[in-house]
A = this chain, B = another copy of it.
Amino acid sequence: MTILFKNARLLDNRSVYLSVCDRVISYIGAERPEGDFDREIDCHTSLLMPGLYNTHCHAAMTLFRGYGEDMPLDTWLTTRIYPAEDRLTPEKVKAASELAIAEMIRGGIVSFSDMYFFCNETAEAVIESGIKANLSRSLVSFDPAARIAGDARFAESVELVKNYHNAAEGRLKIDMSLHAEYTNVEGYIRDVAAYTKDAGLLMQIHLSETEKEHNECILRHGKTPTAFLNDCGVFDSPATCAHGVYLTDDDMEILAAKGASVAHNPCSNLKLGSGVANITRMCEKGVNVTLGTDGAASNNSLDLFREIYTASLLAKGTLRNPLLGKAGDVLKMATENGAFAQRREKAGKLEVGYAADLVLLSLDSLNTIPTYDATYTAVYSASSRDVLMTVVDGRILYENGAFTTLDIERIKDDFKRVCDY
């Protein structure tokens, strides 16, 4: 399918023609390009911007959206989340992943990174929906003697890679995932790190999310989680590290040197009382900072526009400097930096030859007029409700409230049927 977007305002406020052909952006310019198009879309009251990357998610946790709130973290996890997760089934994960993916597409997310269980089901939901994803099976190990040989969870990961890595014309990728330092033993971590590097895969991991886990690692290993995991080889593969609330300057330097990304989840970090990650410092140190929603249990929506806004405001407010968390910088975290974290080449920005992963955002809604500068509107004034269209690899997945690949009523019905908590 070929599409011509006409009178499209870009983030830099230029008004252009932008054409899509064979899943990529084929032209951007002031003059109308030659040729006919399957579809012509007049965008004169909208912003055409790169699609959003949600680089830390547990999609199936939509099941636990609002399931226990305003509780101490330990009590919440042990009395609500862990017992509920024990009752997960493939059917539940499929339905919950579908709901999550629908919410993400509606909100302009074109790709997400996920750590969870029953990943086959999430993989099928990704393939069917048309969204992109880097999925990973979250690995834990508590026996001090644990190694990957003979480990059933690790075998699942390997099987997942075999069955799904680069499926759906590369839309779906399988990453490796160590849940976190505090949920794994050293031998197992070293094994997974070595396998990941040998297989040429990416790594997803939770890192220094809470002060408790950060300090307990120092007591246990004599080093920060970042330093310890680095010694184990975890960052020898491109890694996306979720949270990073308690990273030290040295930690940030390690991550920057290793080409690792930190997925900043400002809403989840606030809501769970974890704190506020210092993304300003991370950027100064050269870390690739990206944004994520975390799972719906701790947020509670999968709305990256809300994270973009919150990330910017927290950077300004907590360091009391309105020059920080600049709109363009935070949008880059949500787009180009996210594509880099997922190692998706030629993606995350609007350039000829890049993947046609696009969001059309209304500049004519009650909360987006006036628009003096489209970048400011996108970050400060707009919300996910202003998304008019989401396009992935040149395919329109969502347009004016309707989905092209998803039967939303069926998805909601399935979800309600399995959601028995």
Measured between beta carbons, the chain B residues less than 8 angstroms from A296 are: 381
The chain B residue with its CB closest to the CB of A275 is B320
Measured between beta carbons, the chain B residues less than 8 angstroms from A370 are: 62-63, 65-67, 415-416, 419, 421
Q: How far is the CB of A397 from chain B (nearest CB, A)?
A: 14
A383, B383: Cβ atoms under 8 Å? Answer: yes
B103, A366: Cβ atoms under 8 Å? Answer: yes
Taking the full assembly, how many copies of this chain does it contain? 2
Interface string of A255-277 (1 = CB under 8 A from B): 00000000000010111111110
A269, B317: Cβ atoms under 8 Å? Answer: yes
Partner of A270, one of B269, B275, B313, B421: B313
Cα of A324 to Cα of B321 in the assembled complex, Å: 25
Which bucket holds chain A's interface residue count? 35 or more
Cα of A167 to Cα of B326 in the assembled complex, Å: 44
Q: Which A366-416 residues sit within 8 Å CB-CB of chain B?
A: 366-367, 369-373, 376-377, 380-381, 383-385, 408, 412, 415-416
Partner of A314, one of B270, B302, B312, B416: B270
Cα of A317 to Cα of B269 in the assembled complex, Å: 7
Q: Closest 8 interchain pairs by CB? A: A270-B317, A270-B313, A385-B385, A273-B322, A300-B381, A300-B380, A66-B376, A103-B366
Q: Which residues of A contact B (CB under 8 A)?
A: 62-63, 65-73, 76, 99, 102-103, 106, 211, 267, 269-276, 296, 299-303, 306, 309-310, 312-314, 316-324, 326-327, 364, 366-367, 369-373, 376-377, 380-381, 383-385, 408, 412, 415-416, 419, 421
Cross-chain pairs A/B with CB under 8 angstroms, 8 sampled: A70-B322, A76-B322, A271-B312, A273-B322, A300-B377, A303-B367, A303-B383, A370-B416
